[in-house]
Amino acid sequence: MENYDVIVIGGGVIGSSVAFHLARFGAKRVLLLERETVGSGTSSQSSGILRTHYSVKENVELARRSWDVFKDFAAYVGDDDASCGLVQCGYLICSGDDEKLEPLRASLRQQEAQGIPLKYLTKQEASQLLPIASFDDAALIGYEPEAGFGDAYMVATSFAKAARHGGVTVREGVTVQRLVIEGSRVVGVSTSVGDFACGTLVSTQNIWTPQMGTWVGRDMPVVPERHAVLALECTSAPYTSAMPVFKDLSSPGMLYYRSYGGKQMLVSEGLVGERLPSTDTEQGDVPLDYVAEVGAQVAARFPAYDAAGLASSWTGVYDVTPDWNPVLGRLPGVDGLVMGYGFSGHGFKLSPTVGRVLAQEALGMLTDVPLAPYSIERFATGALLVGKYGSGAVS
Ligand SMILES: Cc1cc2nc3c(=O)[nH]c(=O)nc-3n(C[C@H](O)[C@H](O)[C@H](O)COP(=O)(O)OP(=O)(O)OC[C@H]3O[C@@H](n4cnc5c(N)ncnc54)[C@H](O)[C@@H]3O)c2cc1C
């Protein structure tokens, strides 16, 4: 049986980041196992927005540290050809005079206290940045000039490539089917191509994490939720890549927007999505009634989009935990198992730091940030990481 110091299950943006960081920290025998191909899971469905705006301060810290990686990605992974597809167009977030106003104010203050560069904009200043939007009802507008969007698939594959260069064995098309356990300790995995032994196992299986729950006989609080994404085109008012990502807290769907393909508008809801009965990343239906409903909200904010056409639509699946925040760290009661799942629609922007701290945890190092707030035990103790905006990926 091949023997590894650390095995990582799942080659999404999180698992490939873990593998890269394991090599970076000097781990010699590391194996990354991916059922299909690297980045082919939910990472390939990501809208790619990179912001540090969060209402949960622990998330701000993970995002801030990750941002430092994204803005100099090729150098970080040590590969001149690597790219995270970064478009540094800024991030604008606004609330009307409603129940989102004070949560927004408090979150912006929290970010400032954590040293995030941000500005408060007047309606006129916001209109200069995003002239296709109307800010008539805006009561508070925050702006993160350094933020933007990137490409999660490119990040996953770049981390995996750099991991390979660092000595990690990356095996695609290999499905982990169960664990090999001795006493209370995980000592390996059984897969579609045979067994592999390991000292430590890292599970970054996203919506497939309940499999791990079955293998260890434990409930993993997470549900798969499908979300629709629309690309709209309005020739008279293109959403160019110079225009900022925009979060409209006051819209009924808490919509988020960004430029798509340099002229289209990518738009999606920031609310609870469609709960799926099984782990399935197949494309779901996007009914025209739904498009019309979201389209009406878009036109309320972007008047010219009353005449916009639907260029394309797709769906993606979030791994949603009860408080819409991830589980990071060792699984109590099972020795040698580190978990990283439950990113609830906002894991891409955290992936460099999450990969780094999970690698540190797997190697018994001090983690850059404390993992205790992200412990799975919080769902039993009630010490949840609840965001100020309620349920949703803005968290
Ligand atoms: C529509 C949509 C929009 C989003 N927008 C944003 C955004 O704007 N900004 C942001 O930060 N985040 C966003 N996200 C979230 C972000 O994309 C995810 O949190 C992140 O990509 C998750 O990465 P992952 O590695 O956990 O999961 P995945 O990419 O799903 O990777 C998990 C991998 O594990 C593999 N696997 C599972 N079980 C096994 C097994 N038994 N054996 C072998 N392999 C296995 C799977 O095949 C899969 O490839 C969005 C997500 C969606 C769906």
The residue whose CB lies within 8 Å of the most ligand 1 atoms, and thus the one to mutate among 20, 38, 43, is: 43
Task: Return the pLDDT at 125.
Answer: 98
Collapsed DSSP state (helix, strand, coil) of residue 100: coil
- Tell me the CA–centroid distance for residue 223 and ligand 1, in Å: 13
Of all protein residues, the one whose alpha carbon is nearest to atom 31 of ligand 1 is: 12
Closest CA to 255 of 141, 393, 390: 393
Please work out whether the CB of residue 35 comes within 6 Å of at least one atom of ligand 1. Answer: yes
CA 16 / ligand 1 centre spacing (Å): 11
Average pLDDT, 10 consecutive residues per value, the chain (395 residues): 97 98 98 98 98 97 98 97 97 97 97 97 98 98 98 98 98 98 97 98 98 96 97 98 97 97 97 89 93 98 97 97 97 98 98 98 98 98 92 83
| pLDDT at position 226 | 96
Is there a contact between 325 and 395 (Cβ–Cβ < 8 Å)?
A: yes
Instruction: Let me know whether 233 and 346 are in one domain.
Output: no
Structure tokens at 138: 């805006």
Q: What is the CATH number of the domain that holds 306?
A: 3.30.9.10
Write out the residue range of the structural domain in which residue 190 sits: 2-48+152-222+323-381
**Torsion angles phi and psi, residue 143, rounded to 5:** -140, 125
Which atom belonging to ligand 1 lies closest to the Cα atom of 229?
A: 1
Mark whether 285 and 156 lie in a shared domain.
no
Query: Is 253 found in the same domain as 140?
Result: yes
Torsion of CA 213, 214, 217, 218, to 10 degrees: 30
Of the candidates 200, 202, 205, 197, the residue with the CA atom closest to the CA atom of residue 180: 197
pLDDT for 308 equals 97
Tell me if residue 346 falls in helix, strand or coil.
Answer: coil
Q: Within 10 Å of residue 28's Cβ, how many Cβ atoms?
A: 12
Residue 372, CB-side half-sphere exposure with 13 Å CA sphere: 4
Could you tell me if residue 191 is inside a domain? yes
Domain-located, residue 138: yes
Residue type, position 240, single letter: T
- Are β-strands 337-341 and 327-330 bridged in parallel, bridged antiparallel, or unpaired? antiparallel
DSSP string computed for 24-54: HTT-SSEEEEESS-TT-SGGGG---EE----
Ligand 1: atom nearest CA of 17 is 25
**CB of 265 closer than 8 Å to CB of 111:** no
- Cβ(150) to ligand 1 under 6 A? no
User: Is 236 found in the same domain as 169?
Assistant: no
Domain end (from 318, 339, 355): 318
Q: Is 243 in the pocket of ligand 1 (CB under 6 A)?
A: no
Q: What is the pLDDT of residue 394?
A: 86
Residue nearest to atom 17 of ligand 1 (CA): 46
- Cα→Cα distances 73→17, 252, 368, Å: 12, 36, 19
Phi, psi angles (nearest 5°) of residue 381: -85, -20
Question: What kind and span of H or E run contains 311?
Answer: strand 309-320
Q: Tokens 């705006």, residue? A: 53
- What's the pLDDT at 177? 98
317 lines ligand 1 (CB under 6 A): yes
Is 69 part of a structural domain of the chain?
no
Tracing tokens 């299986």 back to the chain, one arrives at 205
| Distance separating alpha carbons of residues 47 and 52, to the nearest angstrom | 15
Number of residues in the chain: 395
Burial of 271: CB neighbours in 10 Å, binned 0-12, 13-18, 19+ = middle
Query: Which CATH number covers residue 173?
Result: 3.50.50.60
Ligand 1 pocket test target in 56, 62, 180, 206 with most atoms within 8 Å of CB: 206
Residues 164 and 242 in one domain: no
Ligand 1 pocket, mutate which of 343, 344, 350, 353 (most atoms under 8 A from CB): 343
Q: Domain boundary at 284, 302, 318, which?
A: 318
Verify that 256 and 293 share a domain, yes or no: yes
Question: Which of 318, 343, 368 is the last residue before a domain boundary?
Answer: 318
Could you read off the pLDDT of 58-98 as tens digits, one per residue? 999 999 999 999 999 999 999 999 999 999 999 999 999 99
Residue position matching structure tokens 């299950």: 9
- The per-residue pLDDT for 225 is 96
Q: Are residues 192 and 121 in the same domain?
A: no
Three-state SS at 4: strand
Overall number of domains in the chain: 2
Residue 366: per-residue pLDDT = 98
How far from chain centre, in Å, is Cα 68? 16
